[in-house]
Structure 1
Amino acid sequence: MLLSVENVTKTFGRNKAVDNVSFALEKSAMIGIIGRSGAGKSTFLRMVNRLTDAITGAIKFDGRDILHLKAAEKRAWQSDCAMIFQQFNLVPRMDVVSNVLHGTLNRRSTFATMFNLYPQGDIHRAIDILDRLGIAEQAPKRAEALSGGQQQRVAIARALMQDPKIILADEPIASLDPMNAQVVMQALRRIHEEDGRMVIANLHTLDTARRYCDRVIGMRGGRIVFDGTPDQLTTGVARDIYGADASFSEAATSTSIEALETPAERAVHQAEATV
C-alpha cells in the first residue's frame, strides 16, 4: 500500500477538525478532497505534511508511519512531501528563480542559505522546471510582478525543486480566475501523469474534481462522507457533502469559463463556433 490513512483524528479544544479519517491508495494517483469551509480538508493536509500533529491514528507512506518521525527524519519527509498553498507563499520582492530555488533549502547548509549560494546545476534545473510550466521568461522578474496564476506556477516549480514523492495542494486555485485555474490544474495533472507523483488537492469546485482527479473524497464535519470516482460524484452526492438542500447549484461553484458566461455571450460563442 503506497498511502494508508488509518483512523486519524485531530482536535482543537472540543472541536474535532478531523474525525477518524481512513482511506488507502495502492498506487500513485491524483486525489481531490472536496467539502465546505471547515470540513477538515486543510487540517488533514497539514497533518500529512507534519505541519500539525494528529491526536490519534497513523498515516503510512510506503509502509512508514510519518506521524512518528522526529527531527531530521521529519524534515526529510517534509522534503519528500511538498506543499502548495492558496496564497502562494512566495517572497514577493525576490526574483522568480530564487523563489524556485528555495525548494532546495532542506538540503542546503546554513552558510549557503545565509549567502544565497546555489550550485549552477540547481539554477539550470530551476529554469528547466519554469520552462516546463511555461513561465521561464519570468525567471528574472520579482515574484510580486507576476499574475496570480503565474505566481501559483512558481509555487508549483518550487515544490518540484524538492523532487517530492507526493505533492499536497491546499486550495491551489481558490484565488484564481477560471483561465488561470485551468492552467494550474492542467500543470498538476501533467506532473502526476508524466512524473508519476502522487497529488492530493483540496478543491472547492465539483467540475474541477471531476475533470482532473482519479478519485474524489468528500469531507463534512471532519469525516469522510464520500469516497469514489469522479463519475460517482452526482449532484445528489454533492448536496450531502456540502449539507445543502435542493436549491444547491453546481454552477455557483464552477471554474469553467463557460459556466461564467451569460446566455447571450454563450449564444455568440456557439454561433462563432459554427462559422
Structure 2
Amino acid sequence: MLRFDEITKSFGANTAVEAASFTVDEPMMIGIIGRSGAGKSTLLRMLNRLTDVTSGEITFEGQNITNLRGAAKRNWQSQCAMIFQQFNLVPRMDVVSNVLHGTLNRRSTLATMFNLYPDDDIHRAIDILERLGIAEHAPKRAEALSGGQQQRVAIARALMQDPKIILADEPIASLDPMNAQVVMQSLRDIHEQDGRMVIANLHTLDTARRYCDRVIGMRDGKIVFDGTPAQLTTGVARDIYGADASFSEATTSTEIETNAAAQKLLAYAAAQ
C-alpha cells in the first residue's frame, strides 16, 4: 500500500531524514519513535506533503505522491489526514464547527466564507463526536475543553475527511497519562474498526508497544529499527535513543497502575 524509497529531506546543509526506506503492505497502526530531532515529524510532513521531498519517492496504492501539485496534491492531503500535538483547533469556535472543518477541501469558497454546512455533514460530525465520547460538548467553544477532549475533537476533524491514512504527530505529548491512554485507544479503535492506516510519532516506549502493530525507530534522520513491539527491547531502545546503561523506560512511561481506583479515573477521563 505505502512505500518509502530512499527518502531524503535536507534543509540547507542539514539533513533531517536520510535515505529512509520501508514498505507497508496492509493497513496497520505504526509507531515511530526516537529522540527529538530524529526526523520523525519531517517524515510525516513529507508523507502528508506539508514538506517537499529532497530526493526519493513515496508511493501509495501505486501512485507517486512526491510530485503532486495543485488539486491533485490537495486531494491527496484529504486522504492523508494530520493530527498535531497542539490540536490546531479554532479556540473560539464551537466544537462541531471545528470538526466540520474537515470538509473544507470539498466545499466552495462561498460556503466556507459563510460557514454553511449541509445537514448530512452536521449529523455525521455529531455521530463522530458521539463515537469518541464527546458529543455533549458539540455546542461548546473548543477552548473550554480539556487537552484530552480537544485532541479527540482534532481526531474527529480528521475522520470527517474520511481519510485512508491518519497521521498523528506527537498526539499525546502534552497530555496527562489518563488522557494519553484515552486518545491512543481512540486511534487504535479507528484502525481496528475502520481498517484505516494510522501512523503516530511517539516518545513513550510503553505506548508504542501497547497500541502499535509495528514500530519504526529513527536516530539522526535514519531508520535504525523496524520491527514488532515484542522486538523493541530495552537494549534496542538504548540504541535508538543513543543512551547508555543508565537509560530507564520509566522516565517515558504513560502507564497507569492497574487497580480499581485507576480504572475509575481512566473511565472518568474518557467521559470528560
* Fold match (TM-score > 0.5): yes
Tell me which residue corresponds to 2:111: 112
Partner amino acid, structure 2, of 1:189: R
Tell me which residue corresponds to 2:151: 152
Tell me which residue corresponds to 2:268: none
Tell me which residue corresponds to 1:135: 134
RMSD value, Cα: 1.2
Distance across 2 between alignment mates of 1:188 and 1:235: 25
Tell me which residue corresponds to 2:196: 197
Tell me which residue corresponds to 1:247: 246
- How far off is 1:107 after superposition? 0.2
Partner of 1:58: helix, strand, or coil?
strand
Q: Can you give the 5+ residue segments of structure 2 that lack an aligned partner in the other structure? A: 263-272
1:60-99 equivalences under 5 Å are: 60-99=59-98
Partner amino acid, structure 2, of 1:185: M
Distance across 2 between alignment mates of 1:46 and 1:133: 25
Q: Cα deviation per residue 1:104-145 (whole Å; 9 max; x = unaligned)?
A: 000000000000000000000000000000000000000000
Partner amino acid, structure 1, of 2:224: V
1:207-246 equivalences under 5 Å are: 207-246=206-245
Partner of 1:87: helix, strand, or coil?
coil
Q: Cα deviation per residue 1:189-240 (whole Å; 9 max; x = unaligned)?
A: 0000000000000000000000000000000000000000000000000000
Partner of 2:201: helix, strand, or coil?
strand
Partner of 2:88: helix, strand, or coil?
coil
Distance across 1 between alignment mates of 2:28 and 2:5: 18
Partner amino acid, structure 2, of 1:102: H
Distance across 2 between alignment mates of 1:232 and 1:252: 20
Distance across 1 between alignment mates of 2:85 and 2:123: 27
Count of residue pairs the alignment pairs up: 261
Partner of 1:217: helix, strand, or coil?
strand
Tell me which residue corresponds to 2:186: 187
Distance across 2 between alignment mates of 1:258 and 1:175: 20
1:5-84 equivalences under 5 Å are: 5-84=4-83
- How far off is 1:68 after superposition? 1.2
| TM-score normalised according to structure 2 size | 0.95
Tell me which residue corresponds to 2:2: 3
Partner amino acid, structure 2, of 1:186: Q
Of 63-72 and 125-134, deviating more is 63-72
Q: In the alignment, does 2:115 pair up with 1:121?
A: no
Distance across 2 between alignment mates of 1:42 and 1:257: 27
Distance across 2 between alignment mates of 1:50 and 1:258: 40
- How far off is 1:13 after superposition? 1.3
| TM-score normalised according to structure 1 size | 0.94
Partner amino acid, structure 2, of 1:229: T
Distance across 2 between alignment mates of 1:174 and 1:158: 19
Tell me which residue corresponds to 2:265: none
Partner amino acid, structure 2, of 1:45: L
Partner amino acid, structure 1, of 2:74: R
Tell me which residue corresponds to 1:262: none
Q: Can you give the 5+ residue segments of structure 1 that lack an aligned partner in the other structure? A: 260-265, 270-275
- How far off is 1:44 after superposition? 0.5
Tell me which residue corresponds to 1:258: 257
Distance across 1 between alignment mates of 2:238 and 2:257: 22
Distance across 2 between alignment mates of 1:14 and 1:241: 23
Partner of 2:182: helix, strand, or coil?
helix
Partner of 1:202: helix, strand, or coil?
strand
Distance across 2 between alignment mates of 1:25 and 1:162: 22
Partner amino acid, structure 2, of 1:6: D
- How far off is 1:258 after superposition? 2.8
